[in-house]
A and B are shown apart, each in its own frame.
Chain A
Amino acid sequence: MANEHLILSQVGIAFPTPNGPFTALENVNLKIEKGEFVSLIGHSGCGKSTVLNIVAGLYQATTGGVILDGKEVDEPGPDRAVVFQNHSLLPWLTARENVELAVKQVFKKSKSKAEMAEWVEHNLSLVHMEHAMHKRPDEISGGMKQRVGIARALAMEPKVLLMDEPFGALDALTRAHMQDSLIEIQARLNNTVIMITHDVDEAVLLSDRIVMMTNGPAATIGEILKVELPRPRNRVELANDPQYNHYRAEVLKFLYERQRHTEQKEPVESKKQDETNVTPIGKETVRAA
């Protein structure tokens, strides 16, 4: 088990609410190897972001814990860089300055000024943003902002790259383009990545494993699908690949049959389903912690 890089062990979290604690996650167990690309997929509100935030250290698990390279995670840090859903660039800094802020913070002791400047530019060029690096976030498009966000995260040389629906807000074409960039970067740098997505194709195309989460409250990991498609992967070629379509179907089946939302469910079916999985998200049942 020398390869165990990131371990989530019995992770659970209960948020305090006016009506008592609300258990969002329970018994989440996951082991991730170095260089592995893992997607988290599940219905809205099931707790994907919460898992990511716990790994990032932004939330504290109430039970269990996260271990990265043998050390327990208890606070946020640049070794677990986050690409936020809405880019979260500082609007008053240019693309370059945004990346620079991160680089200065992480490498202020180990790199010289010139090295840092070069590193900033190198990372911006990884995401093909060198031409617009002196522009502010409100002067560039959504996809460009997201790329700067990725450049900022990559520039920290994190052990784990955490991405919360990085391409969720983009149009389909831009998204495809960004996915290709990510595949290319991943092939080069071989980062460990945890990515949240709503998009089944994206999950299959990018991941080594797809972690499917059950509906909340007290969500946990429902199924893990290993995607054994050879790399480099090409979206056009894969479109007709039976293996690819099989993986796609597996995820769809999980999401729309086993974890179907109550709104979409016919009454007859409900008896067959596991109780915890059909609890409507809107009426969160309160559990004593």
Chain B
Amino acid sequence: MTTDTLKMLGSAPMRYFNKRFEGFREDFSNINLQELAKSIVIPCVAFSIFLLIWAAAASQVNTSLGKLPGPARVWEQAMVLVDEHNEERGKEQRFYERQEKRNALKLAEDPNAEVKIRTYTGKPTFFDQIWTSLVTVATGFFIASLFAIPIGIVCGLSPVLYQAFNPLIQIFKPVSPLAWLPIVTMIVSAVYVANDPMFEKSYLNSAITVTLCCIWPTIINTTVGVSNISKDLLNVSQVLRLGWWTRVTKIVLPSSIPMMFAGLRVSLGIGWMVLIAAEMLAQNPGLGKFVWDEFQNGSSNSLARIMVAVFAIGLVGFMLDRLMLQLQKKVSWDKNAVLR
């Protein structure tokens, strides 16, 4: 079983690369080929070893839900989740087609007839849950950055404000999302009482919890970045008598961008981790809820499906980090800096 999986995972990309590089082979010097091989082969080998160990170890562990799933079963469940998603999409499409037909008929009979347009309310699929989580984390992270960057800048510029904010930052920074969540939930349900809410309460709960947990690294890093601006550049700004705004935009912001982005990346990572926990605990829609539902469901496939979620969470987290890295490269003035 294991070897099958390996073949399945391994052969497709390798074939692709072989085809891709066959034509180039003559043009590339040996060194290039070697480096290429290194950068592709080493990670592949390491990953294969990981899969082997996993497969071997998993078969040794018996749980109440059967044997711990190995890579093959997890892959299988991943495919099942894809199928379920496509099926659900099909259902949804048929639902809307039917509704449209019905309404068209009604209007043909009586042009003034009131037509009902209902939205489809099927069960959210795995991919719907990923999307929900992404939107939620983006919201929480965006709100956090909106506050954290200006706070960080003023704290870095003014020692007085730093002294004022620092105790608060230090106290709230280590608080776990699980502690914030009840408070946030209570406040949101007390304050947010619109009749026709634009956002779901659960979405707000998760997003705000993410904000509260991921705001701190950005504040701290921005503060450090701003307060560590080279003395020489500040002297230049003094000699030129730059105004506050010019100083911030021409000197403070560019020179603190590396630190700021380091903070933003940590923040986004924390936000993503926190979100999953918050969704699990509060039963808010998203990947966390998916994991919790599967856990409660307790079917023989549950563990494999949870593992698919684990990989999805990891991959999304990784992609979010790469996204921030690209953004950082884009706005960074120092194109030679090695960013990882």
Q: Contact residues of A with B, CB < 8 Å?
A: 56-58, 75-78, 80-82, 84, 86, 88, 90-93, 101-102, 105-106, 136, 138, 156
- B232 vs chain A, min Cβ distance (A): 4
Does the CB pair A90–B240 fall under 8 Å? no
Return 26 A-B CB contacts under 8 Å, by A number: A58-B235, A75-B238, A76-B235, A76-B239, A77-B239, A77-B241, A78-B239, A78-B240, A78-B241, A84-B235, A84-B236, A88-B230, A88-B233, A88-B235, A88-B236, A90-B250, A90-B254, A91-B255, A91-B334, A92-B255, A92-B333, A92-B334, A101-B240, A102-B240, A105-B240, A136-B333
How far apart sit A81 and B240, CA to CA, in the bound complex (Å)? 8
Does the CB pair B241–A105 fall under 8 Å? yes
Does the CB pair B241–A138 fall under 8 Å? no
How far apart sit A56 and B250, CA to CA, in the bound complex (Å)? 22
Is B281 interfacial (CB-CB < 8 Å)? Answer: no
Output the nearest chain B residue to A153 by Cβ-Cβ distance.
B239
Does the CB pair B232–A101 fall under 8 Å? no
How far apart sit A75 and B250, CA to CA, in the bound complex (Å)? 21
Interface residues of B in 239-291 (CB under 8 A from A): 239-242, 246, 250-251, 254-255
With an 8 Å Cβ cutoff, the count of chain B residues facing the other chain is 18
Output the nearest chain A residue to B243 by Cβ-Cβ distance.
A105
How far apart sit A86 and B236, CA to CA, in the bound complex (Å)? 12
Contacts of A57 in B (CB 8 A): 238
Is B336 interfacial (CB-CB < 8 Å)? Answer: yes
How far apart sit A88 and B255, CA to CA, in the bound complex (Å)? 13
- B157 vs chain A, min Cβ distance (A): 17
Given contacts A82-B239, A138-B334, 15 further A-B contacts (CB under 8 A): A56-B239, A58-B235, A75-B238, A77-B241, A81-B239, A84-B236, A86-B232, A88-B232, A90-B251, A91-B255, A91-B333, A92-B254, A92-B333, A101-B240, A136-B333
From known contacts A91-B334, A92-B254, infer whether A58 and B240 are also in contact, taking CB-CB under 8 Å. no
Output the nearest chain B residue to A103 by Cβ-Cβ distance.
B240
- A117 vs chain B, min Cβ distance (A): 18
Contacts of B254 in A (CB 8 A): 90, 92
Does the CB pair B336–A138 fall under 8 Å? yes
Does the CB pair A82–B235 fall under 8 Å? yes
How far apart sit A2 and B263, CA to CA, in the bound complex (Å)? 58
Contacts of B246 in A (CB 8 A): 105
- B258 vs chain A, min Cβ distance (A): 11
Output the nearest chain A residue to B238 by Cβ-Cβ distance.
A76
Contacts of A106 in B (CB 8 A): 240
Q: Which 8 A-B pairs have the closest CB atoms?
A: A92-B333, A88-B232, A76-B238, A92-B254, A105-B240, A76-B239, A88-B236, A82-B239
Q: Which of A56, A78, A81, A90 has the most CB of B within 10 A?
A: A90
How far apart sit A101 and B236, CA to CA, in the bound complex (Å)? 11
Interface residues of B in 215-241 (CB under 8 A from A): 230, 232-233, 235-236, 238-241
Contacts of A88 in B (CB 8 A): 230, 232-233, 235-236
- B254 vs chain A, min Cβ distance (A): 4
